[in-house]
Structure 1
């Protein structure tokens, strides 16, 4: 196959999307396919003098004015048998350029569009954001073929589109890093304790994620604080990811467990793997997800996972996960939610050796359903099907 893969420009500094794209690149090339990457280059973006406002708008010029012109010229020299693959539905504005050629769009989540269209009350979008998300939607809605990373993402896609796609398939993400259980978890905890000057010798509650509203990082703090209030604290809380917001810092300072709450930022891939390996439990109470990478990564690392009793979290963790209700939007229901979730955290922390061993085995077994090779094999089959269905 001849494949052209559209990816996000490197100057945007994304992390998860480049890894996803690299999984496609490596997988297809290893299978002997001819793959070329098309992505905007920083032209006007370089003139921004690192000022966020200018970076944003000059980046748009590179992506939506300069790049489309370049694509039109490249298409003149690109064979009709070429398959054009979009690594993310957020690249929608470029889809109309090849809508009459063989193409497929990989879909991760539609949270930004749902927020902009008023479908997610927890997240309000400004006027410019609404226009931008409509711009993206109008682009990918011209596509005929889609591959979604979960059944939940596929359901959301179909709800947004005005007509059923010609092809719509679900292929779960494959792990693109080497996550595995630690041979000696005590040694891992000792290493992390020294590196971050935190006593992790008795284990810890871990959360991995950014500050986006749907990650519910404040909810993690609320659960832990309630747990500290209702039960004797046994292990600290580690929040790995972006730097905390002012709201999160204020919550920590006012918490009765303030000294046991630690924000850990700017860690490398190796340290992230070690944090997973040493965790007593990974707390992941997301409101929404497209897939939920940390769930699989934690399970593969031998950590137990407490997550929200909603898809796609349930879809991913299946019978290997431990579930809590979704955080309510109503203030009067919040206390009951915190009490219930704190009790579940205490229950998992208190599992005896035999129960924990059995639960860890189920987690590891479940994680094996999400292999990079399985992902590549599945999308290759779909790519060929699109080319064959002329």
Structure 2
């Protein structure tokens, strides 16, 4: 196959999307297919003098004015048998450029569109943000073929589309890094304790994620704080990811167990794996997800996972996960939610050695369902099916 892969421009500084694209690039090339990457270059962006507002708007010029012109020129030399692959549904505005050719769009989540269209009350979108998401929506609605990373994402896609897709498949993400259980979790905890000057020798509660509203990072703090009030806690809380917001810092400072709450930022892939390997449990109470990478990464590393009793979290963790209700939007129900979730956290922490061993085995076994090779094999078959379209 001849494949052209559209990706986000590198100047945006994304992390997860480049990894996803690299999995497609490496997998397709390994199978002997000819693949070329098309992505916007930084022309106007370089003139923004590192000012965020200018970077945003100059970046739009590079993506939606300069790049489409470059694509139209490149298309003149492209074989009619070329398959155009969009690595993310957020690249929708470029779809009309190749809508009459063989194409497919990978879909991750539609949270931004749902927020902009007023479907997610927890997140409000600015006026300009709404227009931008409508622009993206206008673009991907022109596509015919889609591959979603979960059944939940596929359902959301079908609810948003104004027509039935020609092809719509679900292919779960594959592990794009090497995560595995530690041979000696005690040694891992000792290393982390020494590096971060925190006593993690008895274990710890871990959360991995950014500050986006749907990650429910404040909810992690609320669960831990309630656990401290209701039970005799002995384990610290580690929140690995982006630096905390002012609201999170304020919550920590007001907590009775403030000294046991630790925000760890700017960790590399090796440290992330070590944090997974040493964790007593990974707490992941997301409101929404497209897939939920940390769930699989934690399970593959031998950690137990407590997550929300909603798809796609349930879809991914299956019978290997431990579940809590979704955080209610109604503040009047928040107290009951915190008590229920704190109780479940305590139950998982207090599993007997035999129960824990069985649960860890389940987690590791479940994580093997998400292999990079399985992902590549599945999308290759769909790509070939699309090229058979008449």
- TM-score bin, normalised by smaller chain: over 0.9
- Secondary structure of the equivalent of 2:105? strand
Q: Could you tell me the TM-score, scaled by structure 2's length?
A: 1.00
Report the equivalent of 1:301: 301
In structure 1, the partner of 2:90 is 90
Q: CA deviation at 1:336?
A: 0.2
Partner of 1:201: 201
**1:94: how far off?**
0.2
1:310 equivalent to 2:313? Answer no
Rounded to whole Å, the distance in 1 between the matches of 2:326 and 2:55 is: 36
How many residues of Structure 1 are paired with residues of Structure 2 in the alignment? Answer: 390
User: What CA distance in whole angstroms lies between the structure 1 residues aligned with 2:192 and 2:306?
Assistant: 22
Map of 1:20 onto structure 2: 20
The corresponding residue for 1:186 is 186
| Pairwise CA distance, 1:233 | 1.1
Q: Deviation per CA, 1:293-312, whole angstroms, max 9, x where unpaired?
A: 00000000000000000000
Task: Note the C-alpha offset of 1:36.
Answer: 0.1
Matches within 5 A, 1:104-253: 104-253=104-253
Write the distance in 2 (CA, Å) between the matches of 1:34 and 1:163: 32
Q: Paired residue for 2:69? A: 69
Aligned counterpart, 1:320: 320
Counterparts of 1:334-373 in structure 2 under 5 Å? 334-373=334-373
- Following TM superposition, by how much is the alpha carbon of 1:163 offset from its aligned partner in structure 2, in angstroms? 1.2
Cα-to-partner distance string for 1:317-339 (whole Å, 9 max, x where unaligned) = 00000000000000110000000
Q: CA deviation at 1:234?
A: 1.2
Alignment of 1:371-382 (within 5 A): 371-382=371-382
Distance 1:253 1:374 in 2: 45
- In 2: Cα distance, 1:311 partner to 1:265 partner: 28
Kindly provide the CA deviation profile for residues 138-185 of structure 1, in whole angstroms up to 9, marking residues without a partner as x. Answer: 000000000000000000000000111000000000000000000000
TM-score by length of 1: 1.00
Q: Deviations over 1:208-240 (max 9, x none)?
A: 000000000000000000000000111000000
**Gaps in structure 2 of 5+ consecutive residues:** none
Task: Give the Cα separation in 1 of the matches to 2:52 and 2:322.
Answer: 40
3-state DSSP of counterpart to 1:388: coil
> How far apart in 2 are the matches of 1:323 and 1:248?
24
Runs of 4+ with >2 A deviation:
none
How far apart in 1 are the matches of 2:257 and 2:370?
Answer: 36
Deviations 1:38-63 (A, max 9, x none): 00001110000100000000000000
1:389 CA drift (Å): 1.8
